[in-house]
Chains A and B, each alone.
Chain A
């Protein structure tokens, strides 16, 4: 009897601790989310309500005008959006494909010089972007792609990280599968397109999503290689907008909301892939 009672007490105690922990963690996560919550709520406020204290987490008198203005005034937030979408989508499709192609060569075709090239990739990964900005700026000027979207798209197509991530996955595909296909007379190209690409959909999707967020958030390349306002991507257009907005904080928050919401949508739609992708890239890498 006592043993059963003991177990019951222990279970109740465990449940209590667990509930307490849950509340504690929920509060902590709200604290971290609070800038974003404040951003969204402020984007619906009138100018006069922005800094009222205690903070209005839910605006007493919500308005849509900030959002409407952000999207319709001459500064062309819609245009920044189209530019960003264009670049991000091209890279989201192109970069994983090119990386997968190389990853197959690095993992499934043994040939002389392969490991030397791979070592070179490892070295290149250590060089910070900042080292490359100056020479790229000069080269793009010579190549006549400075101040065009090509300056962001072309270099973005080639990622070391993507090759690593997909190579890792390809190495886990059993050799028996490709050997069986070889015996059936298939070459490397058929095996790659008809066997490996379909098999690696999850890892390709994961990388595509990570790459999309990188491109979407990429501020530095846009800052250095784009000059014309009509070419600006969201981060650069956003900065431009913020500096012009001055003290129109509610407008600024509406613009920030416009920049963050697509990422939030991508996050909640692809949560499984994203979290898996980020964790596996670190633990196995």
Chain B
């Protein structure tokens, strides 16, 4: 008994510092925000929080920004499967089908590793509508009126999608490559001797073998996309005309432009529910295509 008590004490000494930090900076804020979402509290208004039940959610559903940000949040899911597919193809190539594998791997991974606010601004200039390199190229191949990209509400989201697709490929490639390197070469060799074409080999052998990795990448990719904020917000602030306002920007604006803390909490927990919902759908759907 004494030994068990001692063991328990030592255990808490080890996890204690981290546990205290987690409690202060994650658990308490999470509970606090859970409470706030049922109140109408506005920061620095001088009024104490008033309990209003689910009113914030009723207000949110009627908010114009809600519909826009749901639509945009669904749009930013598109780059995920595209960059997963491209990452997969590149990984298959870099797994014993090219020379200079390590150098190429570094080349593909570097854009992901360095992506951030700085690179977002590079994209903004590349997409500059009048003289930017992308539109200059489009004009030179005969498109006389290329899209205005970030400058127009109709096309800003497309520019965001291009930027996100390019940013995700390197990460997906590196994860697939690690998975491929753990496969036994026998299965792959057998298929090659049977005279399977490269396409058949990809679809029928390699892809099923790495399907757990694909599941991991789609789940984490969707979560990352839904949470994505910085690269979009830094260059567009959700505009023009709210055309790039995704859910995280919606929540941010309500909190830090309008200081409607109760309402903003409701918006951010809705975002959590969307993430949970999309993750659960994928988890349930995995039986159909994931082979362990």
| A residues whose Cβ falls under 8 Å from a Cβ of B | 17-19, 21-22, 24-26, 28-30, 32-33, 35-36, 38-39, 42, 51, 53-55, 98-99, 101-102, 104-106, 109-114, 117, 120-121, 124, 126-139, 154-155, 157-158, 160, 163, 188, 192, 213, 216-217, 219-220, 223-224, 235, 238-239, 242, 249, 252-253, 255-257, 259-260, 263-264, 267-268, 271, 274-275, 278-280, 282-283
Contacts and interface: CB of A to CB of B under 8 A. Distances in A.
Interface string B225-262: 01101100110000000000000100110011000010
Interface string B89-127: 010011001111000111111110110111101110110
A22 B99 contact: yes
Contacts of A121: 22
Contacts of B19: 102, 117
Given A22-B100, A35-B122, A279-B177, 14 more contacts: A25-B98, A32-B111, A36-B122, A109-B14, A114-B15, A127-B26, A128-B248, A131-B268, A131-B269, A139-B32, A158-B21, A256-B118, A274-B113, A275-B105
A38 B108 contact: no
Contacts of A133: 251-252, 255-256, 268
B46 interface: no
Contact of B136 (A30, A51, A102): A51
Given A132-B26, A133-B255, A217-B117, A102 B17 contact: yes
Contacts of B36: 134-135
A224 B261 CA distance: 14
B107 A219 contact: no
A16 B125 CA distance: 39
A33 B119 CA distance: 11
A236 to B, nearest CB: 8
Contact of B11 (A33, A105, A127, A217): A105
Given A51-B136, A130-B229, A131-B272, A38 B98 contact: no
B8 interface: yes
23 contacts: A24-B93, A25-B94, A32-B111, A38-B122, A53-B140, A98-B17, A99-B18, A102-B19, A111-B8, A111-B10, A117-B19, A124-B27, A124-B30, A127-B26, A127-B30, A131-B265, A138-B261, A158-B25, A239-B121, A239-B234, A259-B118, A260-B114, A282-B213
Contacts of A154: 21, 25
B178 interface: yes
A136 B255 CA distance: 12
B276 A217 contact: no
Contact of A128 (B17, B28, B131, B275): B275
Contact of B33 (A102, A105, A132): A132
Contacts of B178: 279-280, 282-283
B132 A51 contact: yes
Contact of B104 (A25, A112, A220): A25
A158 B133 contact: no
A283 B29 contact: no
- 4 nearest interchain CB pairs? A105-B14, A158-B21, A279-B178, A102-B18
Contacts of A30: 107
A29 B18 contact: no
Contact of B93 (A21, A216, A224, A283): A21
The CB with the most chain A CB atoms within 10 A, among B43, B109, B220, B233, is that of B109
B11 A111 contact: yes
Given A22-B99, A128-B272, A55 B133 contact: yes
Contacts of B114: 36, 260, 263-264, 267
A102 B15 contact: yes
B7 interface: yes
Nearest to B230: A219
B131 A111 contact: no
B26 A109 contact: no
Contacts of A137: 43, 255-256
Interface in B193-218: 213, 216-217
B90 A28 contact: yes
B99 A112 contact: no
A22 B98 contact: yes
Given A134-B36, A134-B261, A51 B227 contact: no
A109 B21 CA distance: 20
Contacts of B121: 238-239, 242, 252, 255-256
B79 interface: no
B107 A33 contact: yes
A269 B35 CA distance: 46
Interface string B29-50: 1101100100000010000000
A223 B233 CA distance: 11
Nearest to A261: B114
Contacts of B128: 51, 249
B30 A130 contact: no
B193 to A, nearest CB: 12
A132 B29 contact: yes
A200 to B, nearest CB: 15
A130 B252 contact: yes
A21 B265 CA distance: 51
A259 B136 contact: no
Contacts of A138: 32, 43, 261
